[in-house]
Amino acid sequence: MSRSISDLTAPDVVATISRRGLVVLPFGSIEQHGPHLPCGTDTIAADLVTTSLAERLDALIAPAGPYGVTPIHAGHPGTISLARGVFEAYVSNVCDELVGQGARALVFVNWHEGNIASLDAVATDVQNRHGVVVITAQACYTAQRIYADKGGELTHGGGIETLAVLAHDASLARLDRVAEPTRPDGADELDAMRRSREVYGYITDVTEIADDGWYGNPGWASQEKADTFADLVAQEIESAVESILAIRRRAT
C-alpha cells in the first residue's frame, strides 16, 4: 500500500499522520548524469530510499517535486535548476501545510548535495516557527559510507547512483553508452576540497571536476546490489532518525 499523500484519500492521510505524526519528504534534482543515466537520477534515489524509510517509520510520504538547486550543472541539456529563494519558499510552504495537518516531525531525505544549504535553512526555520522536530538525512552520504568498503564511490553518474537507477528501472541505465570519462588536472583534489567537512572551497561548474559532466565507474553496479540498495540505506537512516526522536522526547 502506498504511503504517499498523492495516492491516499483524505481520510487515509489523516489516519497515517495521526499514528506517529511523522512525514518524510524526498529531495533530489533534475540534472544531466552523462550519456548513460537519466536526468532524474538524484530524485529517483531519494524516492526509493524514502519509500522504504516511510514503511519502516510508519510515516506519510509528502513528495516535494523533482527539482532542486543545481547551478553547477546549468547549461547542460536536461538540467533544470531552481533559484535558492524559489526552492526554499516552496519547501517551507509545503512544510507549513503539513504541520497544519498534524505533522509533529518532518524528515528530509536528500540525495543532492546542492540542496544541503537550502534544506538546512528551511529545517531550522520551520522547527523554530512551529516547534516541530525536523531531521535531515543526507542519503547520498549514508550510501557512500555503506558501500565504501565494497568498492562503491559517490560520484556524479558513477556506481552508487547507477545502483539507484537499476533498482528503479534497469531499462533506464544505458550502460552501453559508457565510455571512460575524462577529467581535468587536479579534479580529484578539487572534489575532495568541496566535500571536506572542516575547511572547504567551492566549484561553480561541474566541468571543473569532469570534462564530460560525469565521472565514476558505473560498471561497479550490479542488479544484485541494486535489489537491496533502498532497504540498506533506509535501515541505516531509520536507526539514526529513531535515535534523534528519542533525544528530542527526552529533552522536552
The rounded distance, in Å, linking the Cα atoms of 119 and 108 is 8
Ordered per-residue pLDDT tens for the chain, 252 residues: 689 999 999 999 999 999 999 999 999 999 999 999 999 999 999 999 999 999 999 999 999 999 999 999 999 999 999 999 999 999 999 999 999 999 999 999 999 999 999 999 999 999 999 999 999 999 999 999 999 999 999 999 999 999 999 999 999 999 999 988 899 999 999 999 999 989 999 999 999 999 999 999 999 999 999 999 999 999 999 999 999 999 998 887
The rounded distance, in Å, linking the Cα atoms of 173 and 181 is 16
The rounded distance, in Å, linking the Cα atoms of 68 and 82 is 6
0.95 exceeded by the pTM? yes
Phi, psi dihedrals of residue 105, rounded to the nearest 5°: -150, 135
Give tens-digit pLDDT for 155-171: 999 999 999 999 999 99
Whose cell is 559532466? That residue is 213
Query: Under DSSP, is residue 136 helix (H, G, I), strand (E, B) or coil?
Result: strand
- Domain range summary for the chain, segments of one domain joined by +: 10-246
Give tens-digit pLDDT for 47-72: 999 999 999 999 999 999 999 999 99
The Cβ of residue 112 has, within 10 Å, a number of other Cβ atoms equal to 24
Model pLDDT, residue 134 = 98
- Planar angle of CA 100, 136, 248, nearest 5 degrees: 70
Q: Which fold has domain 10-246?
A: Rossmann fold (3.40.50)
Outline where the chain has alpha helix (H).
10-20, 41-57, 84-100, 116-130, 139-148, 159-169, 187-194, 223-227, 229-251
Residue 203: in which H helix or E strand, if any?
Answer: none
The rounded distance, in Å, linking the Cα atoms of 220 and 167 is 14
**Cross-strand partners of 105:** 22, 133
Among candidates 190, 40, 16, which has minimal Cα distance to 104?
A: 16
Distances in Å between the Cα of 102 and the Cα atoms of 23, 86, 148 are 10, 25, 39
